[in-house]
Amino acid sequence: MSGQKKEANKQIERFWKDVNLRYVPAEEVPEVGEDHFVIQLDNRSLRTPGGNILRVPSERPLLACLTAQEWDEQEKVLRPTSLPITSLIARSIDGFVTERDRADVEQYLLKYLDTDATCFYEDEPPALAALQEKRWDPLIAWAKEHFQIDINVAINTLSNKQPDATRERVAQILASLEPLDLASMERAVMTSKSIIIGLALVYRRIDAEQAALAAEVETAAQASIWGAVEDSHDVDHADLRERLASVACAQVITEPELVGRFVDVLHRKYGN
């Protein structure tokens, strides 16, 4: 086995005892420019793979708590695959360092517009057609109304193209997203293969379970006809929901007054 493979397969044992949260006001770190939370392992702030401090915006205390919980639940060995929320936040910090980095992600996501899974309908089999109508129609109707865009739907064909005006509007939406929301959008789209599902989840039109149901229409239809392959289906089912749930958690915004109360609790508990 090569040295690189040995390094990749090397397990990291849990090296920390305590996990806590610390609230950091903007004036303490002027270059950041906003109040935020950091997760601390034995009073050392957690860092991203890129070496940056893992910061959670102050209006998202639930996300900060869930991130801390991910690390507290690690047992003897660190399991990176069990840190979906941590990886999402890290992506939002490390992934968009330059304007070029961000533009590349936005352009990549726009490519999903013409291949959006929710825009390809089939008449047969009936089970598939029924699920498409039930799970996709409301999302398409919402996106049309909410964003004031036209959406072309293909029926019994593998070719589809969205209007230029729709593409321009979606590009504007992506450009307006905060880094954490763009990272969330990226994960949602790549997981569901759908811009529409991604937008609905990031804009809190649907929850993670509804997003998963919309994303697995074809699988669900096949399972209803032929039955599910239990081991494979169960893993895919759980992985899909875990990834989409991390996105949903990142979208929970807390009112300033409640954030203030939460910070007071942190001060009393940790004295920081």
- Locate the domains of the chain by residue range: 3-79+255-270, 99-227
- Position 12 scores a pLDDT of 85
Domains 3-79+255-270 and 99-227 share a fold: no
Residue 92, pLDDT > 90, answer yes
- Digit-coded pLDDT (tens) for 165-176: 999 999 999 999
- Position 1 scores a pLDDT of 42
| Phi, psi of 38, rounded to the nearest 5 degrees | -125, 150
Residue 225, pLDDT > 70, answer no
Residue 233, pLDDT > 70, answer no
CATH architecture of 3-79+255-270: 2-Layer Sandwich (3.30)
The mean per-residue pLDDT over the stretch 108-122 comes to 96
Residue 250, pLDDT > 90, answer yes
Pick the CATH number of 99-227 from 3.20.20.70, 1.10.240.10, 3.40.50.720, 1.10.3580.10: 1.10.3580.10
Q: Which residues contact 104 (CB under 8 A, 6 or more apart)?
A: none
- Digit-coded pLDDT (tens) for 13-52: 888 999 999 999 999 988 888 999 999 999 999 999 999 9
Percent of the chain predicted with pLDDT > 90: 76
Query: What does the longest C-alpha to C-alpha distance in the chain come to?
Result: 62
In this prediction, residue 227 has a pLDDT band, given cuts at 50, 70 and 90, of low
Give the span between the Cα atoms of 175 and 134, in whole angstroms: 31
Give the span between the Cα atoms of 236 and 192, in whole angstroms: 12
Residue 224, pLDDT > 80, answer no
- Position 183 scores a pLDDT of 98
CA angle at residue 209 from 70 to 185, to 5 degrees? 70
Of 199, 175, 176, residue with least CA distance to 247: 199
Of 49, 55, 67, 47, residue with least CA distance to 31: 55
**What token pair was written down for 78?**
């660190």
Residue 223, pLDDT > 70, answer no
Give the span between the Cα atoms of 118 and 112, in whole angstroms: 11
pTM of the model: 0.90
Question: Which is higher by pLDDT, 70 or 222?
Answer: 70
- Position 7 scores a pLDDT of 45
- Position 22 scores a pLDDT of 95
- Digit-coded pLDDT (tens) for 150-209: 999 999 998 999 999 999 999 999 999 999 999 999 999 999 999 999 999 999 999 999
In order, the DSSP letters of 99-158 are HHHHHHHHHHHHTTSTT-GGGEE-S-SHHHHHHHHHHHHHHHHHHHHHHT-----EES-S
Dihedral sign of CA atoms 82, 58, 46, 177 in order:
positive
Residue 2, pLDDT > 90, answer no
Least confident interval from 75-79, 110-114, 148-152, 233-237? 233-237
